[in-house]
Amino acid sequence: MVATPIGNLGDLSQRAGEVLARAEVILAEDTRRTGLLLHHLDIVPQSFLSLHEHNEERRVRTVLEQLSQGRELALVSSAGTPLVSDPGYRVVRECRQNGFRVEPIPGPSAPTVALMASGLPPQPCTFLGFMPRKHRDQYRLLSPFARIRTTLILFERKSRIRSALEVAQECLGVREVCLARELTKQHEEFIFFMLGQWDKLPEDFRGEFTVVIGPPEKEDQPTPEHEVLGLLEREGAGGEKPKQVVARVMERVSGWSKKAVYDLYIRGTDSEEGKGSNI
C-alpha cells in the first residue's frame, strides 16, 4: 500500500518511488491519474489493474491469484494514503486472512495535513470520511458526537459545503471550524470561522474541502435531561411551535445540540400525548 502525493509531487517518498518502480502489478483507483504520476517519475509500469469502489469485491480473487504466483503488487489511491476514505479495505483484509504480507508505505494524508495546520485540538480526533449526501444520513452521522469532546475531520464537496455545515451546527452547536483546500499545492488555503458565521465563507467555492470541526469550547457538564425536559414543558405551555420552544430552551442549557433538544421535545410530546401534557 503506497501513499502518493495529495498535491505537491515533491511529497512522494524515495521509498514509495522505489516500490512503484519494481511492482509487477499496480492496483490503481484511477489508472489515468496514477499513470500521469508515474510518467512524472519516469516510471514505466509493468502492469496496471484498476481497483475502485465499484469493482473491489470482484478484484479480490484476481489479487490473490497474482500474489499466489509470487508477484509483487502495489496498491495506490487517486491521491494520499490508501484506505483512508478510499478503496482497498476488502483487498487488504483478504490478503491478511490468506497469509500474504501487507506492507504499508506511509506518506501524505489530507486529514492529517489539515489537522496539523488547523490549530484545533488534535487529541482525541475522529475521521468521518465523506459526508453522506442526504440530510437525514448527515444527522445520523453527526448527532452521536454532540456530547463527545472530540475534533471531527471530514471531506465535503464545494457544492454541498454550506448545507453540510448547517447540519453540523444543528447537530453539534457552535464550534470552531477550519476549511482546508488545495492542500500542499500553490494555492493552499485555510479558512477559519465558527459554525453559524456563514458570512465568513468565501463566495466562490473551488475544489473539495477537508473540514476540521473543533470540540465544544465549554468544559461544562451537559444540563441533565430531566432539567431540559422541565424547561421544555414550561416553555411549551403556551402552545407555540416546536422550533420556537426549542430556540428559547437552547439559550438556557449547555452541552445540548438543537437537534438533541428537538428530539427530546418530540419524544416528550409523543409519550405524554394521552395525558394532556404540552410535551
The secondary structure of the chain in percent helix, strand, coil, rounded to multiples of 5, reads: 45, 15, 40
DSSP-derived secondary structure for 44-107:
--S-EEE--TTTHHHHHHHHHHHHHTT--EEEE-SSBSTTSSSS-HHHHHHHHHTT-----B--
First to last CA, the chain: 55
Helix axes 242-250, 258-271, angle to 10 degrees: 130
pLDDT in tens, 255-265: 788 888 999 98
Could you give the percent of the chain with pLDDT greater than 90?
69
Q: What's the whole-number average pLDDT of the chain? A: 90
What does DSSP assign to residue 224? P
**Fold category of 110-213 in CATH:** 3.30.950
Domains 9-97 and 110-213 share a fold: no
Cβ burial 52-66 (10 Å sphere, 16+ → b, else e): beeebeebbebbbeb
On whether the 9-97 domain is CATH 3.40.1010.10, my answer is: yes
CA 261 to the chain's CA centroid: 25
Q: What is the pLDDT of residue 273?
A: 52
pLDDT in tens, 12-44: 999 999 999 999 999 999 999 999 999 999 999
Q: What is the pLDDT of residue 267?
A: 85
Q: Distance between CA atoms of 275 and 264, rounded to whole angstroms?
A: 17
Q: What is the pLDDT of residue 278?
A: 46
Helix axes 258-271, 161-172, angle to 10 degrees: 60
Residue extents of the structural domains in the chain: 9-97, 110-213, 225-275
Across 75-89, 213-227, 235-249, least confident range: 213-227
Closest by CA to 259, choosing from 138, 132, 165, 143, is: 143
Q: What is the pLDDT of residue 257?
A: 86
